[in-house]
Every structure is written in structure tokens, then in C-alpha cells.
Amino acid sequence: MKFTVLNARDLAPSQWDRWRALQAANPDLDSPYFAPDFVRIAAAVRENVFVAVLGSSQDPEAFFPFQRGRMGFGLPVGGRLSDFHGLIAPRDFSLDIPELMRACGLSSWEFHALPASQSAFASYHGRTAGSHFLDTSQGVQGYEEARRRAGSDQPRRLRSWRRKAQEKFKKVEFVPHVTDTRVLDTLLEWKSKQYQESGTVDNWSYDWMRDFIHGIHACQGADFSGMLSALYFDGELAAVHMGMRSRKAWHWWIPRHSEQFQDLRPGMLMLHLMIEHAPGFGVQRIDLGYGDEEYKLRLRSGEIPVAAGRIEIPSWAVSFRRWRESLERWIRKSPLFPVVRYPGRLIKGLEQWNRHR
């Protein structure tokens, strides 16, 4: 098979159009993460976003978007911000994966939310999980009735939180999309504070990530649209959610609420209101992403199987990384671990910083 690898900024309009056609023809790709706009916006803020064009450049059979890092270590576009990634191709598309990696100049490619239905990658799966979703195809009443039939009390809880907010405030207002970028900046400030307090990497301390999210917020199209939703109690911002949607799927992505209203569960109330408004946008599913958070397990209508793993091509860089990971596993089980724990955390922190750059 022929491979043409381009910086994503250099794809021709006809290639972006072919990408859209491939996405529209494959129901497995209906998430906004698979839309060309997601990759295009990422490429506008990063130099290392590439796309392998498979087959003829004029009439491609498939596309493979990726980020290429140092030593040929590759990641999905957007790195850890990506909740779905993989080939843009017809169902059951087959290819030689090592050949693809060599054509892309990759010594490895890590994935953490690749649709398990993409069988070409099956031999590289390290583990599988479920990416949870809410079925909004029958509206909020249909969703709630289905959950009640399944024995869930979540519809009752959601209604209860909504009723409490309406009793306490004169006006409870939900706006599905806010154009004011100051609301988005407020959300990122709230998230940064949350990360700092928990001791995890602050995504929003990196300029490219902030620019990326602002680019998605500004993109408003029929096939792909940023969705900045806001919940107000008597005109005061109670919760914000930055997501995005395709024609059929709305992705629950970056939520946060004001701490002063946390007893009223404004984040969950906002999600309930999203379910109510989703049919008005033609949305049939709200994706919650993978993970074992309790609210996802309680609210979900179903799940999409996704896989995590790593593809590796023999090289000195891959050999060194394997040796280092093996050494780390040995140290964790040895009496030396208490001595090297803190220097090890520093090294891990530097690695995370480098991966987010």
C-alpha cells in the first residue's frame, strides 16, 4: 500500500473532504474526535501533528493522524486530551501496521482509547475497557425510562437535584453554548486550581493546550462544533462544561463547578440538562469517555469497547525504554524503593512535562 505522510497543515481541501466522507460512512467514527476539524485545530497550535494518507493522494482509502515526538515516539493527536483515536477508514479496513509505523517515522505509537472494532490493531491491545455513553435518541424521557427499567435510581436523583436548585433560586438557567471566551477562561482557571490541589499535571499551564481548546470553542460547523455549556443560578455561574459535538455525538469532556454551589451537584444537574437539550441538536448520544468514575457507571446507557496498548518497531530507543521500564518494575519490588521514590517522582514529573509540551 502507498503511504504519503504530510504535516496536517498541508492536507489539500479535497483530502479533508474525503476524510469527512469516510467518517460519515462509518458509524464507528461518529465521535467529534474523528472529525478532520479536531486534527486541523490541533495542527494550528502544534508543529508535530501529521497525517498518513493511505492509498492514492487524490482518492485516499484511509487516514492515520498522529503526533510524532522525540526518538520517533508517537501519540494520538491531542495526547491525553483524546478520548477516541485511530484510523479514519471503512469498517474492517486492513493494513500492515509495522509498515504504517515505518512510513510515519515512528518507533512506537501509544494508544489509550482506540475503538476495539479497528481489527488491524487487535494484536497490539494491552487491555480493553468501555467508553461509556448516554442514549439520548429518545429524548430525556426515553433515557430516564430506560434507566428505570434497568433498575437505576439515577433519574430520580437527577430530578431531585434539579428540584432543590429550583426551590432555592428564582432562576436556574442552562445555556447549551456560550460564545463569551471569558466563561471558557473561568473554566480553565477552575480546572487548574483543581489539578494543583490534587497534585496532578495542570494541562492548562501549557499554552498550546489553552490555544487548542479556544480553537475548538471557536469552531462552529454542522459536522463539528465546540460546545461551551453554562449553568447559572440567579445569574451567577454555577457550572461550566467544555465539550464538542459531531452530527450525532456530544462529548462530555471538561466539566467543573463553582465550589460555593457544590452541595447542589451543579455538574450533574448540567449533565441532566444536556440530555434534555441534546435532541434539539440532532445528538443521539452523549459520550462520557472511559474510566471507572462512579457517576459514569451509574448514568451510562451502554459502552463502546476501546483498547489501550503500544505498537513498537525494533530500535535502540525502544530497547532503552524497555530496559528502563524493566528496571523501574524491579526497583519497585526491591528494598531500594523507599530510597529512590522521591528522585523517581521527579523524573516522572519531568517525563510528564515533556509529554505535555
Q: Which pLDDT tens digit goes with each residue over 196-237?
A: 998 888 889 899 999 999 999 999 999 999 999 999 999 999
Please give the average per-residue pLDDT across 103-123, as a whole number. 96
Q: How wide is the angle at C-alpha 12 spanned by C-alphas 313 and 97, nearest 5°?
A: 20
In 10 A of CB 266, how many CB atoms? Answer: 25
Q: What is the CATH number of domain 3-132+306-356?
A: 3.40.630
> Which CATH fold would you assign to the domain 137-283?
Aminopeptidase (3.40.630)
**Cα 289 → chain centroid:** 7
- Torsion angle (degrees, nearest 10) of CA 306, 219, 39, 43: -140
Domain ranges of the chain: 3-132+306-356, 137-283
Please give the average per-residue pLDDT across 56-72, as a whole number. 94
pLDDT at 350 over 50: no
Strands, E, within the chain: which ranges?
3-7, 49-55, 60-68, 73-75, 108-115, 125-135, 172-175, 225-233, 236-245, 249-257, 285-289, 302-312
pLDDT at 64 over 50: yes
Cell of 193: 486550581
74-78, 293-297, 304-308, 350-354: least confident range: 350-354
Tell me which amino acid residue 309 is. Answer: G
| Whole-angstrom distance, CA of residue 235 vs CA of residue 47 | 41
| Packing angle of the helix pair 181-198, 207-218 (nearest 10 deg) | 140
Query: pTM for the full model?
Result: 0.89
pLDDT number for residue 351? 47
pLDDT at 301 over 80: yes
Give the list of residues 6+ apart from residue 314 with CB closer than 8 angstroms, or none: none
pLDDT number for residue 193? 94
Cell of 54: 493511505
Mean pLDDT value across the chain: 91
256-288 pLDDT, tens digit per residue, is 999 999 999 999 999 999 999 999 999 999 999
Q: Do 3-132+306-356 and 137-283 show the same overall fold?
A: yes
| Whole-angstrom distance, CA of residue 261 vs CA of residue 157 | 17
pLDDT at 78 over 80: yes
Phi/psi region, residue 135 (left: phi>0; alpha: psi -120 to 50; beta: rest), is beta
pLDDT number for residue 155? 86
19-56 pLDDT, tens digit per residue, is 999 999 999 999 999 999 999 999 999 999 999 999 99
pLDDT band with cut points at 50, 70 and 90 for residue 347 = very low
DSSP 8-53: GGG--HHHHHHHHHHHHH-GGG-SGGGSHHHHHHHHHH-S-EEEEE
pLDDT at 357 over 60: no
pLDDT number for residue 325? 64
327-339 pLDDT, tens digit per residue, is 666 567 667 556 5
pLDDT at 192 over 60: yes
158-185 pLDDT, tens digit per residue, is 899 999 999 999 999 999 999 999 999 9
pLDDT number for residue 353? 47
Cell of 350: 519531568
In this structure, are strands 60-68 and 73-75 parallel, antiparallel, or unpaired? antiparallel
Listed residue (158, 136, 143) closest to 279, CA to CA: 136
In this structure, are strands 73-75 and 108-115 parallel, antiparallel, or unpaired? parallel
